[in-house]
Amino acid sequence: MAPQQPQPQPQHQSRRRAEIAVTGIGVISPAGHTLADFWHTVSTARSTATALTDPELARHRVRLGCRVTDLPDNALVPAKDARRLDPFAHYATLAALAAHTDAGAPAPEAGRSAVVVGNAVGGRTTSDRESLLYAGHGPLRVSPLMPLVTMPNAAAAQIAMRLAWTGTALTIATTCASGADAIGHGALLLQSHRADVVIAGGCEATLTPVTLAAFGNLGAHSQRNGEPARASRPFDTDRDGFVMGEGAGFLVLERLADARARRARPYALLAGYGSSADAYHLSNPRPDGAGASAAMRAALADAALAPADIAHVNAHGTSTVHNDRAEAAALAAVFGPHAVPVTSTKGAIGHLIGAAGAVELIAAIQAMNTRLVPPTANHENTEEGLDLDVVHTAPRPIRPGAALSNSFGFGGHNSTLVVTPL
């Protein structure tokens, strides 16, 4: 029997609840490690994809990616401690602490804090390295720290320990929607008064030979090895798959009244969150985008907004054939054909997997606040039949209004966040 299609969640009246403010932002990405550097790279659509020179990749179908380079020195994560972290947890800790500092270092009662981290696979770099040691040298060469370093919750644990926050610490794994779901759940903790300050976001570091081999064999990753900077081409006729990236993005979330009471400087309001499951296939989305459109409608209803209130959509926009087509169908169903400016930051920074939803929400906040939508890097010709207004070639000024950010993951996980200006 064919599975039932997901039904859009019903619209509901806006209920009296706390408004949630974004008071701090931290990012570690292929595009830079400060908000200014990150936004400059994204807003100018400069691709960060490069050839990967790891000798293990010589025979691989995939030999390109968007790497994090030139990590900043950070006294809060001394070098000796960083060496005992897998890159995914290192990136997360740096970005989360940067967000905390950016927010003015809020200091809630320790048990009234929360850390919510989205991550898809945990310490892939370390697990691959230790597996090679086991294969080549036997079991005694495997580090006893491997289980602690590679566990997906290692990032949340590190952040909580660095801040001495003893409240909720969660790890959410919904593949490519993980970062967005972490932020959405962070807002729910604040609205239910289970926490007073939340640090939420996503992290990932999967640019390893084994992972790249798997995605190359799956046919999901671009194999444009000779021109990596042109490989990620969201919604473009000539796309041939996503380009994997790595990094982390974190936000500090607080109830707006609390933020104002301590004279914080909010960037935006996190107004809506919606999620759904395709219940369809492990890798392919529903071709009609029904699950994605259900998540968008739920987020709009949660924010008490209509589609016309959205001035810009930061699309999931992976640069894969099936995902781009399904998202295009979903966007047209919710907003109407060519009705809202759409961009994908993955053309510039690649697909950050579990970190993607958080880092791309940061880009959406910047676009909303500057009223300037960045162009989609490498997009030249929209595939025929995709009823989208894809911003490309040059940044586009937009009217004041809310922004919507989509994140869709393997397994049919769909997550949408809506932010509004103050």
Query: Do 360 and 331 meet the contact criterion of CB atoms below 8 Å apart?
Result: no
Query: Do 129 and 149 meet the contact criterion of CB atoms below 8 Å apart?
Result: no
Residue 382 is classified by DSSP as: B
Range 20-261 has CATH code 1.10.8.60: no
Query: Do 205 and 124 meet the contact criterion of CB atoms below 8 Å apart?
Result: yes
pLDDT over 60 (residue 10): no
Averaged confidence pLDDT in the chain: 95
Q: What pTM was computed for the model?
A: 0.95
What is the share, in percent, of the chain residues with pLDDT greater than 90? Answer: 91
Q: What is the pLDDT of residue 5?
A: 53
The pLDDT-based confidence of 13 (bands split at 50, 70, 90) is: very low
- Residue 79 neighbours by CB distance under 10 Å: 8
Q: What is the pLDDT of residue 78?
A: 83
State the greatest distance between any 2 C-alpha atoms of the chain, in Å, as a whole number.
Answer: 63
Mean pLDDT of 53-58: 91
Mean pLDDT of 195-206: 98
**Residue 243 CA from chain centroid, whole number:** 14
Mean pLDDT of 383-412: 97
Q: List helix spans (H) across 164-311.
A: 178-191, 209-218, 256-261, 290-302
User: Can you tell me whether residue 418 is helix, strand or coil?
Assistant: strand
Nearest Cα to Cα of residue 344 among 291, 307, 331, 285: 331
Q: What is the pLDDT of residue 1?
A: 42
Say how many residues make up the chain.
Answer: 422
The pLDDT-based confidence of 76 (bands split at 50, 70, 90) is: confident
pLDDT over 90 (residue 412): yes
Nearest Cα to Cα of residue 222 among 246, 199, 238: 238
Residue 29 is classified by DSSP as: B
- Residue 16 neighbours by CB distance under 10 Å: 4
Query: Do 408 and 323 meet the contact criterion of CB atoms below 8 Å apart?
Result: yes
Which sign does the torsion angle of CA 351, 122, 271, 361 carry?
negative
- Residues in CB range of 154: below 8 A, 6 or more apart: 85, 86, 88, 89, 122, 123, 148
The pLDDT-based confidence of 2 (bands split at 50, 70, 90) is: very low
Q: What is the pLDDT of residue 4?
A: 53
Q: 273-420 maps to which CATH number?
A: 3.40.47.10
Q: Please give the Cα distance from 5 to 3 (Å, whole number).
A: 6
Task: Show me where the domains of the chain are located.
Answer: 20-261, 273-420
Instruction: For 164-187, write each residue's pLDDT tens digit.
Output: 999 999 999 999 999 999 999 999
Query: Do 365 and 336 meet the contact criterion of CB atoms below 8 Å apart?
Result: no
Instruction: For 226-241, write each residue's pLDDT tens digit.
Output: 999 999 999 999 999 9
Q: Please give the Cα distance from 334 to 31 (Å, whole number).
A: 31
What is the share, in percent, of the chain residues with pLDDT greater than 70? Answer: 96
**Residue 340 CA from chain centroid, whole number:** 21
Q: Residue 230 is encoded by which pair of tokens?
A: 């042109």
Q: Please give the Cα distance from 296 to 371 (Å, whole number).
A: 21
Q: What is the pLDDT of residue 420?
A: 98
Q: What is the pLDDT of residue 7?
A: 52
The pLDDT-based confidence of 124 (bands split at 50, 70, 90) is: very high
Residues that are catalytic: 176, 316, 351
CA atoms within 13 A on the CB side of 390: 30
Q: Phi-psi category of 138—alpha, beta or left, where left has phi over 0 and alpha has psi -120 to 50?
A: left
Residue with tokens 């490498």: 378
